[in-house]
Structure 1
Amino acid sequence: MAENNIPPAMFGKSNYVWMLIGAIVIALGMLLMVGGKSDDPAVFNAHEVYSTRRITIAPIVILIGLAIEGYAIFKNTTSKQ
């Protein structure tokens, strides 16, 4: 019988769960940036384009999502043998 030389998985289930949470938070930040389109292309609505939600909150949410992704990647997985 040949010995099975399958390497252990790089990430555990909890890592993938945290990666999914991070991806959802990043997507939420992207959705917060959406909008600001004017019905009339000749009119520029600076208040809508440069709103606090798009300029401050959305990038912070995206950075939080990236931090969660970093945590998910570097989280130590314990394997039971």
Structure 2
Amino acid sequence: MAQQITKPATPVKTSAAAKPVAKQTDARPVSFVFGKENYRLFIISIAIVAFGFFLMSGSTDIYGTTKIVIAPLVVLGGFAVGFFAIFKKAVAKVD
């Protein structure tokens, strides 16, 4: 059984070509989530954590105070500085 092609009862109305909408440019300056001080603190925290892991390394005196107490505290301090660097609010400069 073949399908029959039918024409619409009324002609289809097409609208005139729409004019493109001009995008308005926003003149606000770009603001980043983190400021320069945040990145500086984050790099310092990475250095502190790396120093703490360096204190933990070594092959002699496994149960020394440096490896058991001081190095983990240094690493935790580095993580604390990292959290502070992330949560510190960037100060916006007003010109």
Structure showing greater radius of gyration is: 2
Q: Distance in 2 between matches of 1:32 and 1:6?
A: 44
Q: TM-score if structure 1 supplies the norm length?
A: 0.77
Aligned residues: 71
Q: Write the distance in 2 (CA, Å) between the matches of 1:6 and 1:26.
A: 35
Look up the match of 1:63: 76
TM-score norm. by structure 2 comes to 0.66
User: Greater helix share, 1 or 2?
Assistant: 1
For structure 2, the 5+ residue unaligned runs are: 1-22
Say what the alpha-carbon RMSD is for the aligned residues: 2.1
Query: Identical aligned pairs, as a percentage?
Result: 37
Runs of 4+ in structure 1 deviating by more than 2 angstroms, as ranges, are 4-8
Letter in 1 for 2:44: I
Larger RCO (alpha carbons 8 Å, 6+ apart) = 1
What SS is found at the alignment partner of 2:34? coil
